[in-house]
A and B are shown apart, each in its own frame.
Chain A
Amino acid sequence: MSALTRTPRGLDRVNPVTPFAAATLYSLPMLLTIDLVSAAVALGAWIIVFAGAGIGPRTVLRRSWPLLLAAPLSAVSMLLYAEPGGRIHAQLWLIVISDQSIELALAIGLRVLAIGVPILVGLVGLDPTRLADGLAQVARLPHRFVLAALAGVRLFGVLGEDWRQISLARRARGLGDTGAVRRAMQAAFALLVVALRRGGTLATAMEARGFGGAERTWARPSTLTRADAVLLLITAVVGALAVGTALATGSFRPVWQGAL
């Protein structure tokens, strides 16, 4: 039982359900405003929190790297296409770079990072089994649904190998020369059939082990501890600090007011 009772460290100590609640709690106020100040304050605060919690820069980068691509992309589109305002620096057809678009670009780019990075750091790499335990025991979702989804997640890994075999088998049969779309559709259909069959036998195996009754116990307890409260508290404080600073400095800019 060592692996199950072993005390996990850092983020692993919270119940996997908590990061979802924390993400909602944090992103709601952060989505109310588009301004530089709140995003910068939040990002700064998270960097301090991560350092304090022993979450190193490598972990942060590994989990949130897609945002490092998404943030500049959204910033650039704001820079080029946002409604112009203030001094105009450059212009080419629909593209207008103005004071306002520069400010918006910075605000949006920073905000994508400020909201996205902490959420991904919290959610990526959650263990599906622990998450399912939490969803059923803490969030009280129906256990049949949760466990079927969990079994499906495991099956998904198996299907990757199936897809490889199907692709090789098609080459072996001389079928790789036809159109790519047709080829992909046929291979996808074969994978679907294999997946349905696997799903069917998995359902049988689960049923044969007594799955589907009204009452069940849980071998692995999933409970909320102080660590969960701490995570929620930190999240709330960072969100309040960021939005509060923006309000205090007068830079709060509600999304519904749009551009200046």
Chain B
Amino acid sequence: MTGSRIRARGWGWRHAGRDAPAVAGLDLDVEPGERVLLLGPSGAGKSTLLSALAGVLGGEDEGDETGELTVDGAHPSSLRGTAGLVLQDPQANTIMSRVGDDVAFGCENLAVPRDEIWSRVRHALEAVGLDVALDRSTAALSGGQRQRLALAGVIAMRPGLILLDEPTANLDPAGVVEVRDAVARVAAETGATLVVVEHRVETWLPVVDRVVVLTAGGGAAADGSPASVLGAHGAQLAADGVWVPGLPVEVARGTGHAGEPLLELDAVRAGRAGEAVHEAVSLEIRAGEALVVTGPNGAGKSTLALTLAGLMPAVEGEVRATEPLRAPDVRESRPIRWRPRQLARRIGTVFQQPEHQFVAARVRDEIAAGLVALQQPKHAIAQRVDGLLAALRLEALADANPFTLSGGEQRRLSVATVLAPAPRVMVLDEPTFGQDRRTWTELVRLIASLVDDRGCSVVAITHDPDVERVLGDRTLRLGGSAAEHGAAAPRAERA
């Protein structure tokens, strides 16, 4: 099988209802078998281009197309099975409830004869190194396994073009390597043309042989071998949010000391339905100190976070709030027993998926919601909201609907909503998941200033080594007993 040829001439796309085009004036030629890493600031239309190449951008209702874009000489929307696409969210890539059926789905749609389907399925699963039974439930797979399953579903269709849209952004480090290696093996074996969109350049350098940089609203700003493009444009790319290798992120930390304990965990084991998912944890969470919780997928990090944040009862042991955190008017020491209002002004939680937290139709109302619930005076609310909008660079979006924001904006907004009632303890679940370098820096700087300048206590769940390096005043490593690889990790594997 040979790879597909991509050709773009003055190509552009404007999503329906938007003023500015997502992509405009793109000229690009990709030869069969080339392996391209697509870079550029968020909003440069990388995902739009991938969707267009996959033929899933939609018709005239969805937007306006200009110029010419072809795959093997034909418009991509007229082709089926020529291009295969793997999306960022592992959950979104799974279609069927059993592994074998999911891989077979694409072949069925291409009307491949039945006997050949199953030989393709076995071969594809072997190629991505996913050694599980065909009737294994797809819900029981880890994030990395799911992405490899999606890749298997794509290659079983024998596409000439494989398109990957940030396939590893939501994975833990082990999952990232699993998927990257599977892609490398598949590309070498099939000779398919490969186009990858990904902020984390370093991961993909061993696989790609060409880097193309898109600019917002324009065409390609740079194009060439990885070494030449990164050498000539590294600094600019880093400023645009690309994780350029060799340019580490730095966030300055204050020199404050840990203060009084706010929460005490006494042999706590968190879990669901009476079943603990991690080993017993005993520690104090102190003011002016950040605690980083790490561990592999399925180690129980998110469950522990929800438990110490007073949202889930502990299976064993006890989470207690100290007198300073309970002041001035709460006598109950267990946060799980507090009323929501008492909880929100003391312990704030930023969830892994920001959209789970949104309750209002405008960004401004979203930030105000918690303060309104606390029955604060109107002018105080307005003042606080304006301050937070400015601090998190959300002023221009004050009247936008929270659900329409980009991933990075949603993340900043969810942090703003939790900051509004000024809790002394902040619990953040994967605050930097899938973020580009720029949003990452803003978020980490903000979290650091909460700890260093405001004396807050921060608990950050993460498997991002840079977060651990900057924020890890102390690190708690979960894992071992319950953290067997491939075990179900319902929340940990979704972004």
Chain A residues at the B interface, C-beta cutoff of 8 Å: 1-4, 128-129, 150-151, 154, 157-158, 161-162, 165-166, 168-178, 186, 190, 193-194, 197-198, 201-202, 204-213, 215-221
Contact = CB atoms under 8 A, between A and B. Distances in A.
Given A1-B100, A193-B355, A219-B104, A173 B114 contact: no
Contact of B340 (A3, A176, A211): A176
A201 B55 CA distance: 14
A208 B359 contact: no
A173 B359 contact: yes
Given A168-B312, A174-B373, A193-B403, A216 B96 contact: no
A172 B418 contact: yes
A260 B373 CA distance: 62
Contacts of B374: 174
B104 A3 contact: no
Interface stretch (B33-41, B83-91, B210-218, B248-256): B83-91
B370 A207 contact: no
Nearest to A178: B373
B157 interface: yes
A205 B341 CA distance: 41
Nearest to A186: B359
Interface centre among A157, A177, A209, A220 (most CB of B within 10 A): A209
Contact of A171 (B93, B95, B121, B340): B340
A184 B111 CA distance: 45
Contact of A129 (B97, B107, B157, B357): B97
A174 B421 contact: yes
Interface stretch (B168-176, B286-294, B344-352, B475-483): B344-352
Contact of B118 (A1, A204, A207): A1
Contacts of A210: 80-81, 106, 109-110, 157
In this complex, which of B134, B312, B358 has the most chain A Cβ atoms within 10 angstroms of its Cβ? Answer: B358
A204 B96 CA distance: 14
B425 to A, nearest CB: 11
A256 to B, nearest CB: 45
Interface in B194-229: none
B356 A219 contact: no
Query: Of residues A175, A178, A206, which shows the largest number of chain B Cβ atoms within 10 Å of its Cβ?
Result: A175
Contact of B369 (A173, A206, A208, A220): A173
B306 to A, nearest CB: 6
Contacts of B97: 128-129, 154
A157 B139 contact: yes
B417 interface: yes
Given A174-B374, A175-B370, A193-B403, A162 B356 contact: yes
Contact of A201 (B92, B348, B358): B92
Contacts of A178: 373
7 contacts: A174-B341, A205-B95, A208-B56, A209-B109, A209-B157, A216-B108, A220-B104
B16 to A, nearest CB: 14
B456 interface: no
A202 B96 CA distance: 11
A251 B83 CA distance: 68
B51 interface: yes
Closest 8 CB pairs of A and B: A174-B344, A3-B135, A176-B340, A209-B106, A210-B109, A219-B104, A201-B92, A208-B85
B285 to A, nearest CB: 16
Contacts of A212: 80, 109
A219 B95 contact: no
A101 to B, nearest CB: 46
Interface in B415-440: 417-418, 421
Contact of B95 (A158, A162, A176, A202): A202
Nearest to B134: A3
Contacts of A193: 355, 358, 403
B56 A207 contact: yes
A177 B341 contact: yes
Contacts of A201: 87, 89, 92
B110 A173 contact: no
Nearest to A166: B356
Nearest to B347: A172
A137 to B, nearest CB: 11
B340 A170 contact: yes
A129 B98 contact: yes
Nearest to A219: B104
A219 B106 contact: no
A217 B105 contact: no
Nearest to A203: B56
A249 to B, nearest CB: 49
Contact of A1 (B106, B111, B134): B134
B117 A173 contact: no
Given A165-B351, A201-B89, A194 B356 contact: yes
